[in-house]
Amino acid sequence: MATRYPDDLSKTQAAYTKNITEEMILKSKDVLKWVKRQF
């Protein structure tokens, strides 16, 4: 368990970071759509 733990943690961190990045990309696309509608 002790030897596997850091690997699991880094995988979890990578997945978490990926999710946040994807959410930010989706939000920025939504913002761009909104801005285009406004003008």
Instruction: Please determine, for residue 11, whether its predicted confidence score (pLDDT) is greater than 80.
Output: yes
In the prediction, which pLDDT does 3 show? Answer: 59
Q: With the CA atoms of 17, 19, 25 and 30 taken in that order, what torsion angle do they form, in degrees rounded to the nearest 10?
A: -140
Is 19 contained in some domain? yes
C-alpha–C-alpha distance, residues 6 and 13, integer Å: 10
Tell me the chain's radius of gyration from C-alpha atoms.
Answer: 17
Is 30 contained in some domain? yes
Instruction: Please determine, for residue 1, whether its predicted confidence score (pLDDT) is greater than 80.
Output: no
More confident residue, 36 or 3: 36
In the prediction, which pLDDT does 4 show? Answer: 65
**Within 13 Å of residue 27, how many CA atoms lie on the same side as its CB?**
6
Is 1 contained in some domain? no
Is 23 contained in some domain? yes
Domain count, the chain: 1
Is 13 contained in some domain? yes
More confident residue, 29 or 4: 29
Is 28 contained in some domain? yes
Is 21 contained in some domain? yes
29, amino acid identity: K
Is 14 contained in some domain? yes
- Mean local confidence (pLDDT), 3-24: 87
